Amino acid sequence: DTEVTQTPKHLVMGMTNKKSLKCEQHMGHRAMYWYKQKAKKPPELMFVYSYEKLSINESVPSRFSPECPNSSLLNLHLHALQPEDSALYLCASSQVPEGLSNQPQHFGDGTRLSIL
């Protein structure tokens, strides 16, 4: 079992809906990440939180809104998504922000999102 828990595992939503993806880790990691992964492609970085503050936004459209309420939780709020946003959304965490660390990232199993 993975140590990073993502919910829900699957999500189907219309383009006008608002939904949220959730991620939780209890390893004491202070860096958390959101990635988008299309089928058979590598993960694409979306956001990085370092010590609960947004450190990187990879020019992600505003219809994706991240939130880090505390050091264990990471949310991704979704609104007015497009069909091309359908993908596997992966959450990851690492011990410290990776620029200062040689530690690997720990990934959740992702939320498979389908936009109708």
Under the rule (CB under 8 A), what is the footprint of another protein? 2, 4, 6, 31, 40-43, 45, 48, 50, 55-56, 90, 92, 97-99, 102, 104-110, 112
Q: Which is nearer to another protein, 4 or 115 (CB)?
A: 4
Q: Which is nearer to another protein, 7 or 82 (CB)?
A: 7
Q: Are 96 and 84 in contact, with CB atoms under 8 Å apart?
A: no
Nearest one of 88, 67, 86 to 77, comparing CA atoms: 67
Q: Which is nearer to another protein, 17 or 86 (CB)?
A: 86
Q: CA Rg, the chain, in Å?
A: 13
Residues near 115 by beta carbon (within 8 Å), at least 6 away in sequence: 13, 14, 15, 81, 82, 83, 84, 85, 86
Q: Are 15 and 84 in contact, with CB atoms under 8 Å apart?
A: no
Cβ at position 104, least distance to another protein in Å? 4
Cβ at position 79, least distance to another protein in Å? 25
Cβ at position 5, least distance to another protein in Å? 11
Q: Which is nearer to another protein, 17 or 71 (CB)?
A: 71
